[in-house]
Structure 1
């Protein structure tokens, strides 16, 4: 086989592979749709450095309260939670917030919210700041929180004490 025949065969094989990938992608279900569940403001104390570790600089940020409101649930964020943060060498901040929400009808829901925040805006002036909360709700009225995947955005709050604003979406 000459060089032209080999290259033609490779090109034809590559086109067949690309066509196969497109056909497989067409067989996939539609991607998730994000539906707003609630917005929240979490009140914080100043962060406390726990020093530099092999993974980056570790901080603790006490969660001292707040509120949340959406169509199907509303209430307050209870004091006593904490946000453990890790400032990585690449400038990204990893978050693991552990806290409890109490609905207006007095149901307590445990939240573990993992996040990733770009500390310095990109060339477009935007920052990546996303979270993935996981809920542990009692069975009953709020049991649906245990049965879905959620994603959210996080942004600095505008109040004193320090705060963050969250928008939490269910993926359906």
Structure 2
């Protein structure tokens, strides 16, 4: 009788586990890790100055583009995120042997409430073919002060860059997304 009760208990436990398994979403039932989704957090328009070409280096051809200002705005971490792009940053580009340009931009944002946040964007910009219009994607890293904006230090981001003009001058529009 004890064996029968033990076997019945194991069968009940197995049945409950099966019911729980069936109730889980399909994504949770796979052994593959879940893919992150992207959440829009803000967009900036960055004004650019006239570029300087210091010439070839052992690493490739360098090009320096000054960042002269701009604005940003978006939902941020739910409480709103708005301010200016401070002048004085730069985009230090390297044209590689494969025709791609590796961009590394380093600049500061200043929020409407006075917080100053360092942004470092980097990524490849490769020539597009007539049949392909690949987006320019960057991987930004933020250094924000502790407190209201520290969520920028604690997440992974991806950004999409588009080349635009603002008031007849060169600029870029960058949309930032947080990976969740």
TM-score range relative to shorter protein: 0.7 to 0.9
Residue aligning to 2:98: 90
Residue in structure 2 matching 1:132, options 108, 115, 139: 139
* 1:123 CA displacement: 4.1
Residue aligning to 1:145: 152
Secondary structure of the residue aligned to 1:157 is strand
CA contact (8 A) 1:44 1:163 kept: yes
Residue aligning to 1:100: 108
Tell me the TM-score normalised to structure 1 length. 0.81
CA contact (8 A) 2:135 2:161 kept: no
CA contact (8 A) 1:131 1:153 kept: yes
Find the aligned partners of 2:68 and 2:43 in 1 and give their Cα distance: 17
Residue in structure 1 matching 2:176, options 134, 156, 168: 168
Deviation digits for residues 30-83 of structure 1 (CA, Å, limit 9, x no counterpart): 101011111111001121101111221101110000011101311100000011
Find the aligned partners of 1:122 and 1:32 in 2 and give their Cα distance: 29
* 1:171 CA displacement: 0.3
Q: Does 1:60 align with 2:64?
A: yes
Find the aligned partners of 2:58 and 2:64 in 1 and give their Cα distance: 17
Secondary structure of the residue aligned to 2:152 is helix
Residue aligning to 1:154: 161
Secondary structure of the residue aligned to 1:39 is strand
The CA RMSD measured in Å over matched residues stands at 1.4
Find the aligned partners of 1:112 and 1:79 in 2 and give their Cα distance: 14
Find the aligned partners of 1:55 and 1:122 in 2 and give their Cα distance: 25
Find the aligned partners of 1:158 and 1:80 in 2 and give their Cα distance: 19
Tell me the TM-score normalised to structure 2 length. 0.78
CA contact (8 A) 2:117 2:145 kept: yes
